Amino acid sequence: MSFSFDLLKQGKGTAARRGRFHTSHGIVNTPVFMPVGTQGTVKAVTPDDLRRLGAEIILGNTYHLYLRPGHELVRDLGGLHKFVGWDRPMLTDSGGFQVYSLGDLSKITEEGVKFQSHIDGSYHFLTPERSIEIQEALGADIIMCFDECPPHPSSYDYTSKSLDMTIRWAKRCLEARKRDDNALFGIIQGGMYADLRRRSAEETATLGFEGYALGGLSVGEPKPLMYEMVEATVPFMPVDKPRYLMGVGTPEDLVECVDRGIDMFDCVMPTRNARNGMLFTTRGKLVIRNSQYERDERPVDESCNCYTCSNFSRAYLRHLFKAKEILSSTLNTIHNLSYYITLMSQMRRAIEEDRFVEFKKEFYQLRADDDI
């Protein structure tokens, strides 16, 4: 096993923690935000862009890569790292969330999930064993257990039965492993019920995974409820393993959940919002299409030194967006990812220096300023 995790620092006055995990493709410092490369690419940017931004790990999507171009092809061409030109760590999800999001196109049974491709309508059957087979063929450094993500809202009875099946599937994932050069993370479910979250965390922890993820959050529930579920779950997750909150989220979500003890995050928000002209800044959100930026010579964020902010004005970025130029997506994405990666770096430093509580207060004070 080439994966290990070191807990380097426990924050003062907070559950925030500073860590580091080791993989066969390099070291990742936590807390960390992982850009999402759904189909083998982080949209609108190159691997070189990501390296310059300081990204240490990116994601691939099992469901999408299985359907196109196919995991066998990726395996035969040297694995996902070689296929996409990325020489640093990668994580692949199990496909469970995508199956959940298909809704009427999928049918869940104890054995697995039958689903219909969104590409050509063909039918497929994904099981825990098949998910592990696909992920091992792709060759990511971290792979995920196949789980069921219950919709929100769901009844207590349904959620309880669902998490029991997720635990049975987790055991099948462990038994299906053939490679020993990657890490397998278990996924904690339990919906919006604190006692179910605790039970899921405790039972999943006994299985001995290399890391643990919180699934089934940020699926439409109010933010305070999501934070409540994180708080209810983290105390029952192993201290000596990475904690991953899947599919989250906004800058505020990252700060709040680092404060609650989470180490790893992913979300399409910085890249998707960039393509839609919404940019993140230290003072809040900036919608670049707005007419107020037509003659604005300032960079997106005067405290940012990314390539976009170092070279281009808000006026130019607004022009590119209005003109529907491809460069708009690239420059906006570079900035948004730089903002997220820099935010995580700032939080790591604040934890190291025992000033995370002060950092969090300053983070919100800046965002209270309406002058963007």
The average pLDDT across 290-313 equals 98
Q: Identify whether 120 is a catalytic site residue.
A: no
Residues contacting 329, CB < 8 A, separation 6+: 43, 44, 274, 275
Mean pLDDT, the chain, rounded, equals 96
Q: In this structure, what DSSP letter does residue 192 have?
A: T
Q: Which single residue is written with the structure tokens 């080791």?
A: 22
Average pLDDT over residues 2-13: 97
What strand order describes the sheet that includes 17-23?
4-10, 17-23, 26-30
| Separation between Cα atoms, residue 340 and residue 346, nearest integer Å | 10
Question: Environment class of residue 107 by beta-carbon count within 10 Å: exposed (0-12), middle (13-18) or buried (19+)?
Answer: middle
**DSSP class of residue 36?**
B
CA quadruple 289, 291, 294, 295: dihedral positive or negative? negative
Looking at residues 328-334, what average pLDDT do you find?
A: 99
Largest Cα–Cα separation, the chain: 61
Structural domain 4-267, CATH architecture = Alpha-Beta Barrel (3.20)
Q: What is the pLDDT of residue 118?
A: 86
3-class DSSP state for residue 105?
A: helix
- 197 vs 203: CA distance, rounded Å: 10
Chain-centroid distance, C-alpha 274: 17
What per-residue confidence (pLDDT) applies to 101? 73
User: How many C-beta atoms surround the C-beta of residue 168 within 10 A?
Assistant: 12
Q: 49-58, 72-81, 96-105, 276-285: which range is least confident on average?
A: 96-105
Please give the single-letter amino acid code of residue 4. Answer: S
Three-state DSSP class for residue 348: helix
Amino acid residing at 200 = S
Chain centroid to CA 73: how far?
A: 25
What's the pLDDT at 106? 82
Which pLDDT score, from 0 to 100, does residue 2 have?
87
Chain-centre distance of CA 328, in angstroms? 24
- The DSSP output letter for 80 is H
Six token digits for residue 308: 């976009």
Residue 149 has pLDDT above 70, yes or no: yes
Measure the CA–CA gap between 138 and 140, rounded to whole angstroms. Answer: 6
- Per-residue model confidence as pLDDT tens digits over 53-71: 999 999 999 999 999 999 9
Identify the pLDDT of residue 103. Answer: 62
For the chain, the domains span 4-267, 274-367
Does residue 369 or residue 296 have the better pLDDT? Answer: 296
Structure tokens at 267: 């979300």
Q: What DSSP designation does 224 have?
A: H
Checking if the pLDDT of 288 tops 80, the result is yes
pLDDT of residue 38: 92
The Cα 297–Cα 290 span in angstroms is: 14
Half-sphere exposure of 42 (CA within 13 A, CB side): 32
Structure tokens at 113: 């999930």
CA distances from 342 to 5, 49, 251, 284, 338 (A): 22, 14, 11, 15, 6
The answer to whether 263 and 301 have CB atoms below 8 angstroms apart is no
The per-residue pLDDT for 105 is: 72
28, 4 contact by CB (below 8 A): no
Which residue in 141, 147, 253, 266 is the catalytic one? 266
DSSP 235-298: GGS-TTS-EEETTB--HHHHHHHHHTT--EEE-SHHHHHHHTTEEEETTEEEETTSGGGTT--S
User: Above 90 in pLDDT, residue 370?
Assistant: no
| Model confidence at 102: pLDDT above 80 | no
Q: What pLDDT is attached to residue 195?
A: 98
Per-residue pLDDT, 97: 78
Decide the pairing of beta strands 183-188 and 106-108.
unpaired
**What is the helix, strand, coil percentage profile of the chain, to 5?**
45, 20, 35
Q: Is the pLDDT of residue 159 over 70?
A: yes
Work out the angle at residue 265's Cα, subtended by the Cα atoms of residues 17 and 135, and round it to the nearest 5 degrees.
Answer: 120
- The reply to whether 266 belongs to the active site is yes
Question: Could you say which of 93, 147, 253, 263 is catalytic?
Answer: 93
Percent of the chain past pLDDT 90, that is, above it, reads 93
For the packed helices 194-205 and 223-233, what is the interaxial angle rounded to 10 degrees? 40
